[in-house]
Chains A and B, each alone.
Chain A
């Protein structure tokens, strides 16, 4: 018995919702970035599953590009987190409500 395409799509929806909930619920910049990674991975799973089901490698190629963008995003995001932490000694988003100080 093979899993169908819907199995993968529903799993992907569950993972994406977990990522969304993480962004909303957590009060920590690093965990918020991790939740974004979960969402990116959920989308990757969709790409690979749909690509497999239509018999094309394009899904995997897009996943390759998504991974590159995720790497760039993580590097820049973590650099911003480090710079913010230097100013406020805190990782809570509540500490960064003002644009200028």
Chain B
């Protein structure tokens, strides 16, 4: 049963991700990426991580993707342009390098799968006690605010810096 659900969610995630990079319209890409996040969120539930699953939906699909959608609509650039033909500025993303890049991506995939195939496959621990420990939001909170408290505070500074940086960069006239 779990395996069926795994393949279902994996198919959603992979299919939607392929859709994201196969689209010429950024609008559809953003919407498909939300579908991919929903698939991943289901996988997190399968991994007994409901906190991460909910955060994935709320933070990624709810906040980050809305930011992307906002920018796509703001810029009003519905379609990807063809290659820019300008003799003064040679195109770095011409067909040759892109093809090489695609091949590199494929080679990377083949290499990863080959390497992972040779690793002894360990079944995920089905012990109920371990599952309860991992899925406990209380445990995550305790760990986050004791052992990782410093990193947590640094994160708030990072977000603040990013916010100021975004405002400064996007401001029309400085």
- Find B166's partner among A13, A67, A76 (CB 8 Å cutoff): A76
- Find B133's partner among A45, A55, A86, A91 (CB 8 Å cutoff): A55
Classify chain A: how many residues form its interface, as a range: 35 or more
Classify chain B: how many residues form its interface, as a range: 35 or more
Q: Cα distance A48–B101 when bound, in Å?
A: 29
Contact B18 A13 (CB under 8 A): no
Interface, chain A (partner B; CB < 8 A):
1-11, 13-28, 30-31, 33-35, 37-38, 41, 44-45, 48-49, 51-53, 55-61, 63-65, 67-76, 78-83, 85-86, 90-95, 97-98
Contact B43 A8 (CB under 8 A): yes
Output the least CB separation between A97 and chain B (Å): 5
Closest to B20 in A: A34
Contacts of A60 in B (CB 8 A): 49, 51-52, 134, 140
Output the least CB separation between A50 and chain B (Å): 10
**Given A57-B133, A82-B170, does the pair A71, B159 have CB atoms closer than 8 Å?**
yes
**Given A2-B124, A86-B172, does the pair A24, B105 have CB atoms closer than 8 Å?**
yes
Q: Mark B14-39, 1 if CB is under 8 A from A, else 0.
A: 10011011010010011001001100
**Given A45-B40, A74-B68, does the pair A6, B75 have CB atoms closer than 8 Å?**
no
